[in-house]
Amino acid sequence: MARVLCIGDLHLPAIHPDYLQFCKGLKRKYKTDTTVFIGDVLDHHSISFHQKNPELPSAIDEHEQAVKGMKAWKKAFPKAMVCIGNHDERVHRLSATAGIPSMYLVDYKDLYDTPEWEWDYSFIIDDVMYTHGTGAGGQRPAYSAAMKLGQSVVMGHVHSNAMLQVLQSPTQRIFGMNVGCGVDTHHRAMNYAKNHLSKPVIAAGLIIDGVPVLELM
């Protein structure tokens, strides 16, 4: 079975300055052989459908900052699976709104120069589903999805939720894990949540030979 490190939402360039070292440390500690980014690797604040902060960089500048920040992650995790999150797909959603066919769009691998990263909406590893969780909410989104699907689920998306819940029956174990995130709460792109009572939980998840582990930074 795989030894999986599941990295939370990065929202580059609005990333916590210590999160990369935290994740590299987990890779060494648990001797992981598989890496999954749970989605929202990019923030794309500048092309958000919501209210924008006029003091933040333009779309081109934000892209350049994000790609620059991604280089260190590619070096640390040269091969990875990336669950496409709602922020990641903002370019595609915006182009669809403008009526631009997908054939004219650049693939994620090419856009971010990640030839060894596999981008898709979900992955199954050892019967565990990894997916960003777009549209999910509530107190225990990953566990609720696991109960609906009848299989273990790992999610990101909900920054203020880092949680592991396990159901053990006589014949099987099913778990739901929300892995938290790696965002910088002081970055201006995160200002929308500054008055929220629930704050982002900086964390990452691991599934080691089928056993889930949640690590807080």
Q: What is the mean pLDDT of residues 170-183?
A: 96
What is the pTM for the complete model shown? 0.90
Cβ proximity of 114 and 69 under 8 Å: no
37: its two tokens: 């980014």
The residue segments making up the domain with residue 13 are 3-216
Helix axes 19-30, 59-76, angle to 10 degrees: 20
Give the number of other CB atoms < 10 A from CB of residue 27.
18
**Which among 85, 75, 79, 77 is positioned nearest to 118, based on CA atoms?**
79
| Span 78-136, pLDDT tens digits | 999 999 998 888 777 767 777 887 777 888 898 889 999 999 999 999 999 999 999 88
CATH number at residue 49: 3.60.21.10
Q: Are 157 and 211 in contact (CB under 8 A)?
A: no
CB 10, CB 37: distance < 8 Å: yes
The whole-angstrom separation of Cα 32 and Cα 7 is 12
What value does the mean pLDDT take over residues 67-88? 94
Which residue type occupies 143? Y
**How many folded domains does the chain comprise?**
1
Helix (H) or strand (E) holding 166: strand 162-168
> Residue 217: is its pLDDT beyond 80?
yes
